[in-house]
Structure 1
Amino acid sequence: MNFHWRIHGLDHDLTQRGLVMGIVNVTPDSFSDGGRYLDTGRAVEHALTLVAEGADILDIGGESTRPGADPVEEAEELKRVLPVIRALRSETKTLISIDTMKANVARAALEAGADIINDVTGLRGDPMMLRVAAETEAGLVVMHMIGTPRTMQKQPEYGDVVAEVQAYFAERLRILAELGIAPERVVLDPGFGFGKTLEHNIALMKALPTLAVQGRPVLVGISRKSMISKLLETDDVDDREWPTVALTSHTRELGARIVRVHEVKPNVEAMRMTEAILGQ
């Protein structure tokens, strides 16, 4: 199967070479690096380091989506992310995604030079987000999540988590198509850790090859997630780095085409080695 992602009218071929998305949290409260890159200068410097290490995409976020996180006012989110996006657009041609649930933030970010909307609500949280998507040619990341970041981990329940995520993706693609949004613009994110127990996450991991609904590429965001600590029985976030690299290799072998990670260099190396072994 061939995989392409259309961003601003340009098709990116992901069939043989997957993409690594580097995380740049411009927040005071993200679960693993909150506050470290809240300053614009430090955020830009960090992002350019990720580019030098091989990042294909820079994912800029100004609102934490960790479990239990409080919402951020739109004005504050704009204040955090726009200077970073503008500065990066003047420094690099690397793809930039805006990690936001707010339509106005997404539109402003695209106007500042971003290329992709990465919305953890699957373009459902803000009723105007679908309009922004339809009126632009941005790439789109449609993620699965139940509830909100504040509530998503309060006893999430599914009859069949795999079947429900598959059905959700099919429904979102149908709605987007009805609005004239080409499916080629969409990649799908099963939302590991977003309204899922450890058992749900493992079930989705095992079923990853089946989640490429309608042939759309799958993005995996599992970097430093708590499921790693639960499996390894450790509370140290630093202990999650090499397991993340292992999961990058494993999920690429299972068919994921994009991984969203904090540490870029080792994950790029893991993806390229896996692709070489796969003969892709």
Structure 2
Amino acid sequence: MDKGRWQQYWHVFQSSRLGSIGAGIILLYLVVAIAAPLVAPFDAEERVAQPFLQPGGDYLLGTNDVGQDIFSEMVFGTRVSLLIGILAAFLSILVGCLVGIVAGYFGGKTDSILMRLVDLVLVVPFLPLMILLAAFIGPSFWNLILVISILSWASPARVIRSQVLTVKTKGFVEAARSIGSSVPTIMGRHILPGVVPIALSQFVMAASHAILIEASLSFLGLGDPLNKSWGTILYYAQARNAFLTDAWVWWVLPPGVMITALVIGFAFTGYSLEEIFNPRLRKG
């Protein structure tokens, strides 16, 4: 795709209010995640005060049941939750692109087999499958990413396949075939650039879903106990009966707000990108 087209996309994105807000939220979280040791006043694993200390003074969100600073847990949890979301989204989009491009380009039996596989993944009840896979594979950082990717690749694959069906009928693709270009060359030089924009918007939406899935699995006790994410913070809060005391105000509510705000940021950015890459969705 030529440089001028990407400059046009960037200009439209800058004029999008939702896109600017969403990108600003994501950028803020990225800064917090990268600078977590500088932002957090304490080590997330360190016992710094009495258990169940209310917010105030050096402890902005109080302490948990073992005396760890909840604000520091939140800051370091940003790094874990965001990293899982981005890596899982990247892997799911990578698989989705591979399946979508192969199915759309070759068509025929290859397309039928791959699309039936996509239909099978999409038709299976999501929540039971998610819990079953997470419990079977076991709790760990990379297993979480694997589970989320297994559950998230099918929808992008279908969208990307539709885009490939459109791109492969273009004149430049037909010209490449007529001069004897190899299949890898056609896919790499002509098909792939045509699906990158839609894959980018799908990646943003997949990251949003991945963060929600990670929080849900961790809250159910199926997350990685060695890495504190927002979901594991909620899990320990529930396990220590924070919902039955006033501790839920500073132990449960902040992680929930953090998850919600980041998902909204990804959603705003994803909607804006879909509007940019699909002219039919643009206003005016």
Category of TM-score, reference length = shorter chain: under 0.3
Greater per-residue strand proportion: 1
The answer to which structure, 1 or 2, has the higher relative contact order (CA under 8 A, 6+ apart) is 2
| TM superposition score normalised by structure 2 | 0.27
| TM superposition score normalised by structure 1 | 0.27
